[in-house]
Amino acid sequence: MGKREDDEHETDGEEYGPSKSQRKRDASALQDLGVRLCELPATELDVLPLPEKLRDAIDLAKRITSHGALFRQRQFIGKLMRHIDVEPIVVALNAKTERQAEAARHFHRLEQWRDRLLAEGDAALDAFLARYPAADGGALRTLVRQASAERAEGTEKAAQRALFKAVRAAGEAETGPVDPPA
């Protein structure tokens, strides 16, 4: 049998463009990004670099209650996104996600400090004051003792909450305000 004309050409992928499977994966990724955008509150959408037509489509998708209509609207959003540069949107969303993750990590570190203060007492308090020198050692020592007493009695946890607020205030004095993880 003779060779087909197509077999004679190099098929390195660049000559013909992306494969159909790759185009489907790309379209699915854009649709997933559109779904992620639809889940954001309006205030967060306002700061993203979205074209007006895309923003209108996202706002409409938020109002749709029918499952089938929502599916079609999400497909439409994905189609709109194929014609724009989504890199600035992805960068902004990833930066937001990273800020939230860092805030959650910082919040958990402060919770660990509170737990360590309750478990280890003065030794942990000395380590905490070395890490956060602006913290009020006397007030923290009092709160640690009250919270430990509450924990031993199994009563209300007001002192433990107050201790965490003091630990959080010391942590924020050094790093700035931290919102609790959502």
* pLDDT 10s digits, 33-68: 999 999 999 999 998 989 999 999 999 999 999 999
* pLDDT 10s digits, 5-27: 555 555 554 578 889 999 899 88
User: In terms of domains, do 26 and 55 share one?
Assistant: yes
Is residue 3 included in any domain, yes or no? no
182 or 133, higher pLDDT: 133
Residue written as token pair 């003792």:
145
With respect to residue 69, please indicate whether it lies within any of the assigned structural domains.
Answer: yes
pTM score, whole prediction: 0.64
Residue 57 counted as domain residue: yes
**167 and 116 within one domain:** yes
Whether 5 is covered by a domain: the verdict is no
Task: Give DSSP secondary structure letters for 125-178.
Answer: HHHHHHH-TTS-HHHHHHHHHHHHHHHHHT---HHHHHHHHHHHHHHHHHH---
Total domain count, the chain: 2
Tell me, yes or no, whether 154 lies in a domain.
Answer: yes
Q: Residue 179's pLDDT band (boundaries 50, 70, 90)?
A: low
Looking at the structure, tell me whether residues 73 and 109 fall in a common domain: no
Is the domain of 78 the same as that of 109? no
Q: Does residue 89 form part of some domain?
A: no
Q: Is residue 75 part of a domain?
A: yes
- What CATH number should be reported for the domain holding residue 117? 1.10.60.30
Domain span at 152: 103-175
